[in-house]
Structure 1
Amino acid sequence: MQNREPCMIAAHKGEITVVVLLLPFMAGIGLGLGYPGASAAALAIALLVSSIFFALLNFGYAKLGIYKIRWLGGLLVTGILLLSGWLATVEHYELNNADHFSKTPAQYLVVHINSEPKVKGDVVRFTADVVQTIDKGKATPTSGTLLIAIKDELATNLFYSEELLIPVRYAPVEPPYNPGEFNYKRYLANKNVYYQEFLYPRQYQVIKAGKGNPVIAYALQTRQNLVKKLKANMHDTTAIAVASTLILGYKADLSNDVLQAYSKTGTIHILSVSGGHVAIIFVLLGWALAFLNGNRRGKIIKAITIILLIWSYTLLTGFSPAVNRAALMISMVICGKTFVRYINSLNLLAFSAFVLLLYDPFLLLDVGFQLSYLAVAGLVVFQPIVYEWLEFKNRVTNYLWTACSVSISAQVITFPLSAFYFHQFPLYFLLSNMLIILPIIVIMYAGLLLLLLPPIPCVSTALGHILEHSILLMNKVLYYVEQAPYASISKIWLTRTEHLLLYLIIIGLFYFMYDKKKTWLLKASVVTILLFCISISLKKVRSSETQSITFLNLRKHTGIVLKNGDSGVVVTDLNDTDKTYQYAVQPGFDSIRLINYRVIKLADNIRLPWFIKQQNMLQFFDKRILLLNQTMSGQSIPRNLHIDYLYISDNPFMDTIAMKNRILIIDGSNSDKYIDKLKNIPVNCKILKRNKSISIASKP
């Protein structure tokens, strides 16, 4: 049986000092994210006073008898770390900067592209640093980050570090308007981006290049050249996209079908260059430089070489949080082994998190950062416990069980977070991860050899063939698993409370498995499971008893959802394959587990026990809705006709008399001028354009 590190659940908090110190720092970041407008000066003064007081107490430790008050030192350190995290977050929050571009009137902006432009369809997207505003010919230095999207074929040639001159057309990022819709505004805010701008041809001008970090520019250019090398030696576009993503972290060419297959089989982690990829490179470098193990100087040279090469690879893959964490941890492990010192793995993990969060506190909200650290923490803490469940004397069987215990530990600890963010759980994750172990190793080593070796026709062709067919084989296996019955549980929508309860259940049960004497943990876990089940049941009961009408904000499209318990109807002009439907309508159904629903087109008629649609008239129980659009042009609305809601779209003729005593729902297809006219009429108007959807409870 192989030698392994013992279970890392520390018997004493002194074994995981860095972990204990990281917690108040993270709490401070949480306060900063919740209250970013706090005074940086006040926080800095409080931090300085606390630090001076702590230093004075240490100088008078024996003289003042402070050692008798053991908790005082810990309290001060906790306060200092909490204030440090809060101050770091407030300082990092770019809207607090007095020179932020949004606070300066301007006609034009000078921006530096600070990320690799991504092409999707005919639109190029990237973030840029706003370095100047220009107003009436006067340039003013500014700061801040702007998300820019350009619909122009020539924009595909834009590159990191180029300087652009653009007009001031930016606007705040819009929030989600419909139930269950992805919160893109929060996603960008978590990256410290709050404004976006959409441009068309001839609305931007490239001023100069080379305004960014030359090391990053070189790395991105090198990565693009390596992607071209993969394309030159491979033929299948899907295989090329997977190879570029898996080896180099270049995700621009990855299709949604491939992402879905990897996501539903629990193998999406391999498409994010992270610890596993860095570990493979570490093993390869360790084998290649084994000849330096003969003496101490050779070991030091080997350690420095491996660390430099690992960080070079990290730079090449875009400095993602997962790769940074892995590179930091492996660098410290290498240093520890080189100087024959043992360091607790949880301390290494916590230290790397502390360094990254000190650089960018907003990483605490990054999903990749959270999943990465949770997965490694699960491996360190839970994997030894899972491994002890079974014992195999056969070497091969033992190796397979070790791999299974790794997969189980990582999947269990990340399940609540994955379910919370991605609303699904792959049931065959263990099988999928076992089936791709060998292909992944072949893909990584064949790909690295292909990219590192100079172009040798026969060798490059052979490596490209091996790489391509290994990826195609892996994809085929995963597609089979994806199509298997009950491959995944989807439409999992957890509240934050349920998410927390799941983690309490997992931690409690695993700790009980580690120390079975703590029977109170088992009892507490059972109570927590009961609370979780009650929460899920109440949510389901409330949903099954709800009758409601929801008018969706689909911009220039119509969307009305009529819910009767577990059944529903959506009246819309969209097809269920349309991207807008899948992005803005479908998530709302999934979030309330509405499975029995029908999509009704505007021209269709239907009669159900609780819903009738006849031309432009809808009746949902006792509520009536009239669709007032261009199809009713020239038709008058009977004054004595009972109508609860007039749904107005496409700027129809205004019958001001018919509009009285009725609620008007005005969608985004109407012009601003038309909406302004309606506002001047003394009627009850509810405007969907640039507003959240309107939901109205209705009872039979």
Structure 2
Amino acid sequence: MKLLAFVPIKLTLLFIIGILLGHYFPFNSYFALVLTLVCFIGLGFIFQFEQHTKSVWFGILASLTTIALGAFIIIKAQPQQRNNHYSKLTIDQESVWHLKITEVLKPTTFSERYIAEVKSVDGSFATGKLLINKFLEDSLTKVSVDDELYTINQPNNIKPPLNPHQFSYKAYLKKLGIHHQMGLSPNSYHKSENPSSTLFGIAANARNHIIEKLKASNFGEDELGVIQALLLGQRSDISKETYDNYKNAGAVHILALSGLHIGILLLVLRFLLRPMERLPEGKKISLLLTVLLLWGFAYLAGLSASIVRACTMFSFVAYALYLNRPSNTFNILALSMFFILLFINPNLLFQVGFQMSYAAVLAIVWIYPLLQKLWFPKWKPVRYIWQLFSVSVAAQLGVLPISLFYFHQFPGLFFISNLLIIPVLGFILGTGILVIFLALIDQLPYPLAWGFNELITYMNATVAWVAKREDFIFKHISFDGIQLLLTYFLIAALGLLLSQVNFRRTAFFLVSVLCLQAYTMYLAYTSSQKSEVLLLHQTKNTIILDRNGPDVKVHTLDSLAAQNPIKAIKIGERFSSINYDGVGNSYVVQGKPLLILDSLGINPKNNKKPIVLLTHSPKINLDRFISATSPIQIIADGSNYTSYIRRWKATCVKHNIPFHYTGEKGFYVFDGAD
């Protein structure tokens, strides 16, 4: 099947190219608008006077128009492009912010977190989104979706990661259109008594009401957390141990209410509504009811971004199934993606959930039939297991490169967990919806609640059993963006080869394998040739990473605590092994002496113009020390008191000496060592 022969697929790919161009090479939004309008006018002119759409110029201009539209949409979708964005207003320390809570996030150890829309600043209309951190000492004041807050607290920048290759929460929030955060302490804000209601707020209130009803039905704590995730998209109450079990077993997608659940629900609804298709116009009525029930479930789940995306995608899939033309499935999927990116949010293209949902569905639609052609067992039980295995393999092939790129691990027993859970997931979802309905009307019988609780207990125990086979969990896999693209080329070549074996496709597959192998070997070689010394940031600890080709040594006082930042660097830089050692008082870096002053404050003598590292808050007179040694650079890591940092920084400014604090500027790089 030649996918690029379908117009919707070509338009969607061109639209995505435009979004990528606008995202990575942003330009003025007015220029993007003018360019798009000019392309549309030229397209209309050719269509009017050429009298047909098969001319070369029409195709070229249609492609340019679609690309220009994608670039304009992504540029216009950036909040800071709007004239009334809060960042473009004149704001002082006494400005009053009017905020509306739009989403409740999972709390951290120190604070409750929310996403809020800016309604106004000092009474002037404003737009934009902020990350709100409400400190836990203010836990008596409950904040929910649709609540409106007034505060004079001012937003702050979101810090980037302080160590190399660490997850960047700042970059993640930027993709959501959030560029600043605001802290709220007790008595620093007040809630509006009569906030306006929105559809999202009503949905959130309905979900909270359902959760309270379920809590009154005596479900187990772990079971209730999983039920909330499966049916309501609420994962904040799942214990870390349970979540890690699902992740290590390759079943974490079961807890993320998105494409898998909506796809299964779609199949269940089609099965239940199939008798209706015998009626006049029964197929249309069945389609309408299916879509309405899908969106009803989305509303029940709180209309989160992932569920809205999944329901939009599978509404188009339902229409494709209604047409009963298998070749149209690719068209419909492409149209659903085009619709979501154009009318909902083009920034979704850069979100992991969006990428994995479409990668999995496209792989199932394309690769699953190819695997079924390879073998079609005659015995029904074997055929069922083979079909489930084929679906799991196809889905895993689709998401494998994305999973390795973002999470750097692969669960080898994913098929076992899927084989044991997926067959009953439809029953779990259907029973769960019934349980919720009966709980809402206070008619949930104890046997049904007990049985459903036991079913979830069985599922959790099964996942935990699979997760304990740690030898089959491949972690800390180095995988970059180029490897991601090359792997997808390899998967595409494999799909083409499975559909038809010929010389050209075999050669394409072998070349794809060689390209991936060659690039991976190149990365391993360049990694083995690299030499550098890094000072990392970690609270209450000192970490110096000394790398000389393949030999990596970490000098630290707490090797167990140091493994957290080291793990990310090991993955990103492709270290094979690391040796740990203590921290000395002096080293030589680039031919320059590096002095380390710790809490003892011992100063090695006969050192002039050194680089100085201050650790664990040494009690020294920095003015006198500077006069005696004339340091060329003073560095302080995360093991020092912040009050000392402020004093040292002021002293360095007075003496005109560069000062680097890792808690503010991030890790420090020494280029090479002796």
For 1:343-354, what aligned pairs fall within 5 Å after superposition? 344-354=328-338
Partner of 2:289: 305
**Aligned counterpart for 2:2 among listed residues 11, 25, 43:** 11
Stretch deviating more after TM superposition (379-388 or 319-328): 319-328
What letter corresponds to residue 675 of structure 1 in structure 2? Answer: K
**Contact 1:182-1:583 at 8 Å conserved across structures:** no
Q: Return closer, same or farther for 1:296/1:325 CA change in 2, 3 Å cut-off.
A: farther
Partner of 2:173: 188
Distance 1:510 1:342 in 2: 17
Quote the sequence identity (%): 25
**Aligned counterpart for 2:636 among listed residues 646, 666, 672:** 666
Partner of 1:111: 99
Q: Return closer, same or farther for 1:623/1:506 CA change in 2, 3 Å cut-off.
A: farther
Distance 1:12 1:561 in 2: 49
**Contact 2:588-2:673 at 8 Å conserved across structures:** no
What letter corresponds to residue 32 of structure 2 in structure 1? Answer: L
**Contact 2:597-2:612 at 8 Å conserved across structures:** no
Partner of 1:541: 525
Match of 1:198, SS? strand
What letter corresponds to residue 569 of structure 2 in structure 1? Answer: G
Partner of 1:132: 120
Stretch deviating more after TM superposition (399-408 or 109-118): 109-118
CA RMSD of aligned residues (A): 2.8
For 1:398-409, what aligned pairs fall within 5 Å after superposition? 398-409=383-394
Distance 1:86 1:622 in 2: 50
Distance 1:284 1:450 in 2: 17
- Please list the CA deviations of residues 74-96 of structure 1 after superposition, one character each: whole Å capped at 9, or x if unmatched: 11111111111111111111111
What letter corresponds to residue 692 of structure 1 in structure 2? Answer: G
Distance 1:574 1:99 in 2: 49
Match of 2:178, SS? coil
Distance 1:696 1:531 in 2: 34
Partner of 2:434: 449
Q: Return closer, same or farther for 1:456/1:73 CA change in 2, 3 Å cut-off.
A: closer
Shift of 1:665: 1.6
- Please list the CA deviations of residues 587-613 of structure 1 after superposition, one character each: whole Å capped at 9, or x if unmatched: 22333344643556xxxxx5xxxxxx4
Distance 2:222 2:164 in 1: 34
Partner of 1:638: 605
- Please list the CA deviations of residues 47-101 of structure 1 after superposition, one character each: whole Å capped at 9, or x if unmatched: 2222122112222224xxx77x722111111111111111111111111112211
Partner of 2:571: 590
Structure 2 unpaired stretches of 5+: none
Q: Return closer, same or farther for 1:319/1:19 CA change in 2, 3 Å cut-off.
A: farther
Distance 1:131 1:461 in 2: 46
1:34 and 2:7 equivalent? no
What letter corresponds to residue 327 of structure 1 in structure 2? Answer: C
**Contact 1:117-1:159 at 8 Å conserved across structures:** no
Shift of 1:662: 4.5
**Contact 2:590-2:671 at 8 Å conserved across structures:** no
Partner of 2:40: 51
1:154 and 2:145 equivalent? no
Match of 1:453, SS? helix
Partner of 2:111: 123
Distance 2:563 2:241 in 1: 14
Distance 2:613 2:160 in 1: 26
Q: Return closer, same or farther for 1:526/1:191 CA change in 2, 3 Å cut-off.
A: same
Q: Return closer, same or farther for 1:155/1:574 CA change in 2, 3 Å cut-off.
A: farther
Distance 2:283 2:3 in 1: 33
Match of 2:103, SS? coil
Partner of 2:202: 218
**Aligned counterpart for 1:60 among listed residues 49, 53, 60:** 49
Shift of 1:362: 0.4
How many equivalent pairs are there?
Answer: 662
Distance 1:480 1:571 in 2: 38
Distance 1:583 1:197 in 2: 27
Distance 1:133 1:458 in 2: 48
Match of 1:202, SS? coil
**Contact 1:552-1:688 at 8 Å conserved across structures:** yes
Distance 1:40 1:122 in 2: 40
Partner of 1:25: 15
Q: Return closer, same or farther for 1:321/1:513 CA change in 2, 3 Å cut-off.
A: farther
Distance 1:25 1:618 in 2: 55
**Aligned counterpart for 1:252 among listed residues 202, 225, 236:** 236
Match of 2:223, SS? helix
What letter corresponds to residue 311 of structure 2 in structure 1? Answer: A
Partner of 1:610: none
**Contact 1:40-1:87 at 8 Å conserved across structures:** yes
**Contact 2:608-2:631 at 8 Å conserved across structures:** no
Shift of 1:178: 0.6
Partner of 1:205: 190
- Please list the CA deviations of residues 375-425 of structure 1 after superposition, one character each: whole Å capped at 9, or x if unmatched: 000011111112222220012211111111111011012111110000011
1:676 and 2:646 equivalent? no
Partner of 1:273: 257
Shift of 1:313: 0.9
Q: Return closer, same or farther for 1:652/1:41 CA change in 2, 3 Å cut-off.
A: same
Shift of 1:551: 0.7
What letter corresponds to residue 586 of structure 1 in structure 2? Answer: K
Q: Return closer, same or farther for 1:75/1:373 CA change in 2, 3 Å cut-off.
A: same
Shift of 1:333: 4.5
Partner of 1:576: 560
Partner of 2:299: 315
Partner of 1:650: 617
**Contact 1:442-1:467 at 8 Å conserved across structures:** no
Shift of 1:371: 0.4
Match of 1:119, SS? coil
1:93 and 2:78 equivalent? yes
Distance 1:342 1:590 in 2: 42
Shift of 1:124: 0.9
**Contact 1:664-1:684 at 8 Å conserved across structures:** yes
Distance 1:639 1:142 in 2: 61
Distance 1:296 1:171 in 2: 61
Match of 1:197, SS? strand
**Contact 1:110-1:164 at 8 Å conserved across structures:** yes
Match of 1:110, SS? strand
Stretch deviating more after TM superposition (180-189 or 333-342): 333-342
TM-score, length-scaled by structure 1 = 0.87
Shift of 1:631: 2.6
Q: Return closer, same or farther for 1:288/1:229 CA change in 2, 3 Å cut-off.
A: farther
**Contact 1:124-1:155 at 8 Å conserved across structures:** no
Match of 2:238, SS? coil
**Contact 1:30-1:86 at 8 Å conserved across structures:** yes
**Contact 2:119-2:127 at 8 Å conserved across structures:** yes
**Contact 2:607-2:629 at 8 Å conserved across structures:** no
**Contact 1:171-1:195 at 8 Å conserved across structures:** yes
Match of 2:312, SS? helix
